[in-house]
Structure 1
């Protein structure tokens, strides 16, 4: 007689997982002599391998600056850089093909969305760790070493972003602040929510002003285990693909990014991936030193308006996925879907 297998929902699976990562970070320091939150010497990454995946869509305004910063990374790791152009209509693909830091340039035949672009890149990745970097993120030179040295098979490493308003130099290059990017510029670090308005993620309404400090208040996200939250923040929402390292095997096992989010609009595919990886047993650990400049596009206001308009739909899809069984054993489906995108794509490997 067959016995029915009960699968708990993703939401319930999150409630079974802790995020007490202190043993991992202190163990790293004891083993290496390096502070978890300090920039990493280049030589410390010797012998490590890492795949960097960059999804890009009409980012020619920022891409040379972003890729130059990747070329200036100081590390001794073996790193491949895979850029997936999601059928851009500007010079994104040409920049990717020309730039020496890009080891594999992919151009999808038609627009598929950032989730599909990331899945295609991750499918081509060879290293056990995949570092997702947005095509408008300018990284300080130690980030590759920071991630390569700290990566582990059951750990999600998240960096931070400092948004920069679009301005150009006389020669047309994006202007960056002279000072290093600020950790506190990220909303996961410093957060001042509106008063007397429904917070869209949690549904809470705050009646008093709050000087929120999610990163500090949650002890580097540790207290967000077991499905707990900090006002409008929970552990999956801390997983942001602007700068995010994940174990490739676990990424495939949970099916990669859910590509339906791209059909609906903007956002939440990284939150859902975070939920899936957490449910599978991964820790989410921040790297306070890994902060990049996130370059706003020239039409930032219009883009944000369009993105936020679609957020209710993607949030509703995320909540639907939370009610379904936690994803697992989906490597074959991940491979099949990614290979379908790559079948008619242009792939150039150096």
Structure 2
């Protein structure tokens, strides 16, 4: 009898990332060749025939965003997209009027309220399980997007691409006039992935490096729209998974299901890194991370934004440690069935409006 040769063990996720490039140039150029003169980074006209290419589900995790959620939802209602798109709000056990606002807004197709605070990772997982679209656009509950963004995503999304948008932080005042926000043009350069000026002589927490001199960094430009971050390369403190920020990012739903969605432990440990880990899993699965420079939204900061930022950063070491540990495990695959089963069980304990 011929002895059975054991199959090689799956590579750790960290090593798997070294095997995948991010040269999306052929994809973006091919799209432009079909797009009747529209550039990849240009806002997409509402009558672009490519806008019917994909069904889009917008998934919004929402916690204590009653102060700005009406503006966020009104911006979705003002999208010039000519095709139906779905909006799902998952309220992470808010104690303000977040659920009431979502329940009363005509653009919201489905509202689910989690039984207790479970974190944005779980909220996004629930929304992903419920989504009907081929593409899921994750949008934070405090992100206001321009009217062309849904069409930009629908026209460009594929089964093998992660489309990354950007954010411009803007202080939200209780008495601000909504038209003043919806009428403003967000600035791409306001995102740290575009213009980045780290403090010198300070250990950067993600990479652990220290820069001896001030740096006027340009991560997006200097990496050629993230192409040069393939094969595990980095730009100082930035790598490709870190560019996947779920404040505004579009992903193929099937790919998210296959890798098992977001790791819910991040939400229990603190703030951040769940989107970085999802990005790493999708990159290891062969997806390309492609920026949309025209997809820039206003991130509406609450009045206590500085205090909230300090609280979040205090918990970052715990979530970063969790991320490092997961990088040493095999890249997840084939988890769609278990993911749907888990979310279906959770949904039996949730409140919601179908």
TM-score > 0.5, shorter chain as reference? yes
Match of 1:262 among 267, 271, 274: 267
Matches within 5 A, 1:1-350: 1=4, 3-33=6-36, 34-44=38-48, 45-46=51-52, 48-169=54-175, 176=181, 179-349=184-354
Distance in 1 separating the partners of 2:262 and 2:52: 30
Distance in 2 separating the partners of 1:25 and 1:179: 28
The gaps in structure 2 that reach 5 residues or longer are: none
Shift of 1:175: 6.0
CA contact (8 A) 2:57 2:85 kept: yes
Distance in 1 separating the partners of 2:133 and 2:15: 32
The gaps in structure 1 that reach 5 residues or longer are: none
Runs of 4+ in 1 over 6 A off after TM superposition: none
Per-residue deviation, residues 16-73 of structure 1 (Å, max 9, x unmatched): 0000000000000001222100000112213531111000001000100000000000
Shift of 1:168: 3.3
Q: How well do the aligned residues superpose, as a CA RMSD in angstroms?
A: 1.4
Distance in 2 separating the partners of 1:187 and 1:48: 30
Check 1:244–1:191 CA distance in 2 against 1; reply closer, same or farther (3 A cut). same
CA contact (8 A) 1:47 1:76 kept: no
Distance in 1 separating the partners of 2:319 and 2:255: 23
Query: TM-score by structure 1 length?
Result: 0.97
